[in-house]
Every structure is written in structure tokens, then in C-alpha cells.
């Protein structure tokens, strides 16, 4: 398979130079590297700039309601555990409307990969404050400056015992592709928060701003230490580290359900009479 086998001929509507192109490119490279076929992959897309890529991938795809990527992705994985299931969205949908779902999937260790294009705005609607917007930022929805503190998605996910928690950056595309590859291969819930500068709306946090701050985590980073992972995720005063912060090995949601492990729902027999009885009761 080659990268072009995973894309449709529909032209992306992202702004020229949008860093979401780097996320897409990293995903395509990873699909090829892992030897996946389009029919092996299910992608679930949120509403927003990142989610707008729904039409441009030639895989099983679902473009749902705002913030509801993770329940749909979880359902797809439970129905067919053979699929590689990937949720795509932005910081608004995933950390705002969808945060409860994210925490639930992390706690349950649902075997899906969630990739969040985090540009600290609701960009598709032209720049309202999102859960990751820095305190004090003036936006269309916060003309006097944002009152709330920004949510740190990594430390929140680690606190919820997510199995794989990483931060990537679109200005480091090879590193980002490596993170995506590892996340897909990791058994359990994986979250990659991707620093994704919005080149149209954010004139402060542009590529030169990130270039001065982004550093890679050391190769010997102690990925199993929850406490230091949270501390490092929140340590953003001088630099912004990227890489895998935290790994936790534990059974996946499917493995906790004996009737699902190695026997996805689509491979189980369907008893119409049993269903009729349940519906009658209902």
C-alpha cells in the first residue's frame, strides 16, 4: 500500500499552510509503515478544522457530533476489535464537550488512539476560547480576557490512568509520525496531544514561537512514573517537552470482558429470538 491508497480525491479545505496537513501526512506515513490496508482502519472525526478531514481519508470513517468522537470510536472497537480505531478532533471538542468521554475511555483503557490537534482555539468558528486557551487571552468569546485556567490534557489523562500519553508537534513531523506509530501499536487507550499552530488565527503562538520552546523528552525518560509524568506535563515555564510522557500496562476494556476478548461482536452469532424477547420486555 502507498499513501495515495488512503486518501480520496476530495481537496482539503484547510487554510494554506494549516498545520493539520502535517498531522494527515504523519498518519498516512504510519499507515503505510505499519502495512495497514484501508479496510483495516476506522477513523472517527469531530466537528472542527481537524475533524474536517473526514472526507479526505479512504478508510471506514464516521463524522459525528461535536465532542462525541470517543463513544463512537469505542463502539467501533467493541464491535470489531480487529480494526485500528483512531479518533480525530481538536482541543475544543475533545477537551471541552468531549472531556467526560475522554476520561471514561482512559479509565476503562479502551483500545483506541485519540489524536488531538491542539491549537488553543475553536478555529473553525474563527477563534473562540477553548479549554486549552491560556488565561487572560482575548478572543471573540472573551473580549476582556479569559478568566479560566487552561486545562492540561496530558496531566488530566495521566491522572485518569490512560495507558499511553504523549505530546507531539506538527513542526516535528518525523517525531509525530513515530508517536502515532507507537500509539497505534500500543494495546490500550492512547492519547496524543498535538501542538498544532493555527497559522490563520493565532499570530502569537506561531512556528517561530514554538521553535524557541519545543524540546524532545530524553530517550531515557521514566515513562512508568506517574508522579514525574504529571509534573513534567505541567512544567511549561521555560520549554514545552514533546514525546511519550507516560505508559501504563494493564488489561484493555475488551480483555476485562471475557465474551469480547479475541471474539469481537461481529464474529459472534446473533440470536434473533433473544433480541425479540429483550425488545418485547423493553
Nearer to ligand SF4, 16 or 149 (CB): 16
Residue written as grid cell 465532542:
67
For the bound state, the minimum distance from the C-beta of residue 16 to ligand SF4, rounded and expressed in Å, comes to 8
For 46, residues 6+ apart whose C-beta sits below 8 A from its C-beta are 64, 66, 67, 68, 69, 87, 88, 89, 90, 93, 94, 98
Q: Using CB under 6 A as the criterion, which residues of the chain lie in contact with ligand SF4 when the complex forms?
A: 14-15, 18, 20, 49, 119, 123, 198-201
For the bound state, the minimum distance from the C-beta of residue 18 to ligand SF4, rounded and expressed in Å, comes to 3
Nearer to ligand SF4, 119 or 252 (CB): 119
Could you give the CA distance from residue 36 to residue 16 in angstroms, rounded to a whole number?
29
For the bound state, the minimum distance from the C-beta of residue 145 to ligand SF4, rounded and expressed in Å, comes to 21
For the bound state, the minimum distance from the C-beta of residue 90 to ligand SF4, rounded and expressed in Å, comes to 8
Nearer to ligand SF4, 30 or 123 (CB): 123
For the bound state, the minimum distance from the C-beta of residue 176 to ligand SF4, rounded and expressed in Å, comes to 16
Nearer to ligand SF4, 49 or 159 (CB): 49
User: DSSP secondary structure string, 28-76?
Assistant: HHHHHHTT--GGGEEEEE-SSTGGGGGGGB-SEEEE-STT-HHHHHHHH
Nearer to ligand SF4, 123 or 152 (CB): 123
For the bound state, the minimum distance from the C-beta of residue 211 to ligand SF4, rounded and expressed in Å, comes to 18
Distance of CA 272 to the CA centre of its chain: 36
Nearer to ligand SF4, 45 or 189 (CB): 45
Residue 68 · residue 136 · CB < 8 Å: no
For the bound state, the minimum distance from the C-beta of residue 92 to ligand SF4, rounded and expressed in Å, comes to 11
Nearer to ligand SF4, 18 or 166 (CB): 18
For the bound state, the minimum distance from the C-beta of residue 114 to ligand SF4, rounded and expressed in Å, comes to 18
Strand-pair partners of 85 = 42
Angle of helix 20-33 relative to helix 173-185, nearest 10 degrees, comes to 50
Nearer to ligand SF4, 51 or 153 (CB): 51
Amino acid at each position: 500500500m502507498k499513501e495515495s491508497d488512503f486518501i480520496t480525491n476530495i481537496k482539503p479545505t484547510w487554510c494554506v499552510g494549516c498545520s493539520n496537513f502535517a498531522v494527515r501526512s504523519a498518519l498516512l506515513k504510519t499507515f503505510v509503515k505499519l502495512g495497514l490496508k484501508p479496510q483495516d482502519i476506522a477513523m472517527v472525526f469531530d466537528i472542527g478544522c481537524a475533524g474536517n478531514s473526514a472526507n479526505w481519508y479512504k478508510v471506514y470513517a464516521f463524522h459525528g457530533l461535536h465532542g462525541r468522537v470517543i463513544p463512537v470510536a469505542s463502539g467501533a472497537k467493541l464491535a470489531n476489535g480487529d480494526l485500528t480505531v483512531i479518533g480525530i478532533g481538536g482541543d475544543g471538542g475533545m477537551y471541552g464537550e468531549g472531556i467526560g468521554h475522554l476520561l471514561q475511555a482512559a479509565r476503562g483503557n479502551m483500545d483506541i488512539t485519540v489524536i488531538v490537534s491542539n491549537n488553543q482555539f475553536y478555529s473553525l468558528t474563527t477563534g473562540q476560547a477553548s479549554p486549552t486557551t491560556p488565561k487572560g487571552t482575548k478572543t471573540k468569546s472573551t473580549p476582556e480576557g479569559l478568566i479560566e485556567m487552561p486545562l492540561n490534557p496530558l496531566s488530566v489523562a495521566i491522572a485518569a490512568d490512560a495507558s499511553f500519553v504523549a505530546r507531539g508537534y506538527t513542526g516535528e513531523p518525523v517525531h509525530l509520525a513515530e508517536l502515532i506509530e507507537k500509539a497505534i501499536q500500543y494495546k490500550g487507550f492512547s492519547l496524543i496531544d498535538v501542538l498544532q499552530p493555527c497559522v490563520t488565527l493565532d499570530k502569537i503562538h506561531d512556528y517561530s514561537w514554538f521553535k524557541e520552546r519545543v524540546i524532545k523528552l530524553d530517550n531515557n525518560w521514566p515513562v512508568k512514573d506517574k508522579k514525574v509524568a504529571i509534573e513534567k506535563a505541567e512544567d511549561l515555564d521555560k520549554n514545552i517537552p514533546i514525546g511519550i510522557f507516560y505508559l501504563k500496562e494493564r488489561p484493555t476494556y475488551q480483555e476485562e470482558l471475557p465474551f469480547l476478548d479475541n471474539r469481537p461482536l461481529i464474529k459472534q452469532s446473533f440470536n434473533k429470538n433473544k433480541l425479540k424477547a429483550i425488545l418485547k420486555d423493553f
